[in-house]
Chains A and B, each alone.
Chain A
Amino acid sequence: MLRIENLHVSVEDKKILNGIDLHVGPGEVHAIMGPNGSGKSTLAWVIAGNEDYQIEEGNLLFKGQPIEDLDPEERAVQGIFLSFQYPVEIPGVTVTNFIKTSVNAIRKARGLSDMPAGELLQKIRKTAEKLQIDSKFLSRSLNEGFSGGEKKRNEVFQMMMHEPTLSILDETDSGLDIDALKIVARGVNEMRSPKRSTVVITHYERLLEYIVPDYVHVILDGKIVKSGDKTLAQKLEAQGYDWIKNS
């Protein structure tokens, strides 16, 4: 599904990633953990195609094809979805309108006609119910004045609308209280299938109690320094990152 080989990335001449190797197979959930500034979010942005992030070396393959040269929207069409750590506010565009525009843009790029309005609205309503999103929320301007938790829930809402093959959740747990976390995790888990993969980026083990990963990777100074199963996350929670640095 996603294959990253010896990836070196810099931003404005500052080296952030120093040779990442990561292979995410179909149906797998990978967690990427690490302290602030270790390069977790950079990895997410470079997969999604932010052009501020310069690939110096290495390969980035999705479904066996290199994607370095694809625009962000082309990657979305391929089935990549990034849930932003800090979702952007767009005053003047409602949640529903934005979702409609993006869903139909992807359909158009895939050679499909617009989703019929009735069908789209029904899907929006069903998905909103699953995430316990109030229908009033859907006619508000995108992310404008949303609480941190509402923004994150809105990201997962869009993810479920798009049904991507690879979801990258960047710090989706931050800003969520425990009830909201459970609701969001339920949504992510519902999407799990042998054909879909998920990369969960997080500081804390807490989210991984609800979205149980197949693999856990620890990233430090732009490199994956340790990989393991879910017990690695528990060990990190108990002992902190110093334990890895010192080992």
Chain B
Amino acid sequence: MEFKEKLLSSFFALQEAVLLDDNPLIEDRRNQAFKTFEEKGFPTRQQEAWKYTSLSPLLSEDYVIFPSGDVGIHPNDVKKYFLYEMDTYKIVFIDGVYSPFLSNTHHDGFDVNLFSVALNQKQHRRTIDTYFNTIAPSGEPLVALNTAYAHEGAYIYIPKNKAPQSPIEILHFSSGDSPALWLQPRNLIVVEQGSEAQIIERHQSLVEHPVVTNSVTEIYAGKNASIEYYKIQDDLDSASLIDSTFIHQETHSHVSVHTSSLGGKIIRNNLNFHQAGKAINSTLKGITVLEGNQHVDHSTLVHHAQPHCESHQDYKGIFRGSSQGVFNGKILVDRMAQKTNAFQQNNNIILSDKAVCNAKPQLEIFADDVRCSHGCTVGQLDQNALFYAQSRGIPIKEAEALLTYAFANNVLESVSIPFLKKHISLQIASKFGVEMGFGV
């Protein structure tokens, strides 16, 4: 049986058993989404947006869709993936199932909670009804698939004028308990007027086994809200991630999404910003360092729908081995979005003959008084700089790592959590097999 057939035939059975919505609105959204996926199926390379990324290598496994969830994991096995052992809010999932033992949620004044709780508790109904599947577009089949099955993930609600004391970590571990696992976490993050949040999301396999995560995150930033979102993608080569993140911003809000793609089989990042108010700032940063057969596809869309807004995109990619990178960055400026200032930069370094990088900036501008700039480069490390470093006694491997770090540095600098910045810099160094902290 094809995997799509399995997903379709499981839906009704599982809806009875697991997805018990007593909310007709949600039930309706779910059914609509199911229909969309049924009609469209998985995207193929015939579609322009998926030209360089094929999902077909992922669809031949017989994935478990709803794992049992009674897998125990000792904190010692996973704590190295935590930003801090203590003092952060944590929502931890093992094989898609919430782990109260490893988590540290919060319900007083603001919510660091579970999506399943929000779905089923009356007090969260208004938020769920307002935002669930209203920020994400309805026509995307992978989003629709996630929506149809959506029952677990992170639910973060920060009411007006609040700022949690520490970052919030969303962590997904796969234990290897299922031979092959298909996960569909659904996150909803609502940060109301004047509030702030720092969020770190990570997906991590603990043993080599086929895992595909089809994750959807909806983020609402109210007036003057400020959100920093960090995605750490440094998984094993057996794990794939399709991440679709949709951000709705109101007037004067600042949202930045920083994506570090350092490992995994196939990673697809669909990152969409919708600017619905004035004087909005959207920031998209990415560091991609790949080797082997790893494949990362960044597909970004910034929709400038209102005047006097800004967007800044800066993606750096370093490709070794037979790795493949795709950058597809679209900026859409509506006719009424005058005085838009949109900036997009994508720079790539290819360190091997077999590595490939496809970059495609797309600007669609319907306003006449805007500043939009974009730049895209694909090149190699500066041979003179390598020789210079070598002549000062730095071995070639370290010299390459140092120059790579230098190349990615301005993106790394934008990570405002010092411990996280150090963590990412050490991860990059380890990709090059060197022990360097780069003085961070």
Contact = CB atoms under 8 A, between A and B. Distances in A.
Contacts of A81: 391-392
Interface string B391-411: 111111011001101111110
Interface string A81-105: 1101001111111101110111101
Contact of B390 (A72, A94, A97): A72
A162 B392 contact: yes
B413 to A, nearest CB: 8
Nearest to B412: A92
Q: Is the interface of A mostly helix, strand, loop or mixed?
A: helix
Interface stretch (B1-9, B301-309, B351-359, B380-388): B380-388
Contact of A109 (B393, B405, B409, B436): B393
B439 interface: yes
Contact of A92 (B389, B398, B399, B405): B405
B438 interface: yes
B392 A76 contact: yes
Given A71-B390, A77-B393, A101 B436 contact: yes
A50 interface: yes
Contact of B406 (A50, A73, A91): A91
B402 A93 contact: yes
Contacts of A60: none
A81 B393 CA distance: 9
Given A106-B393, A162-B393, A96 B385 contact: no
A158 interface: yes
A63 B395 CA distance: 22
A222 interface: no
B393 A82 contact: no
A48 interface: yes
Interface string A141-170: 100000000000000001000100000000
Given A49-B391, A93-B405, A101-B402, A88 B396 contact: no
Given A97-B439, A101-B398, A92 B392 contact: no
Contacts of B392: 76, 81, 98, 102, 105, 158, 162
Contacts of B410: 91-92
Contacts of B388: 84, 87-88, 90
Given A49-B391, A102-B392, A105-B394, A92 B407 contact: yes
Among A84, A105, A106, residue most surrounded by chain B Cβ atoms (within 10 Å): A105
B387 A72 contact: yes
B393 A76 contact: yes
Contacts of B403: 90
A94 B402 CA distance: 11
A101 B408 CA distance: 18
11 contacts: A50-B391, A75-B391, A76-B390, A81-B391, A88-B382, A91-B410, A93-B409, A97-B439, A101-B436, A105-B398, A109-B393
Interface of B: 382, 384-385, 387-396, 398-399, 402-403, 405-410, 436, 438-439
Given A90-B388, A101-B402, A158-B392, 10 more contacts: A48-B391, A72-B390, A76-B391, A81-B391, A90-B389, A90-B406, A91-B406, A91-B409, A97-B438, A105-B392
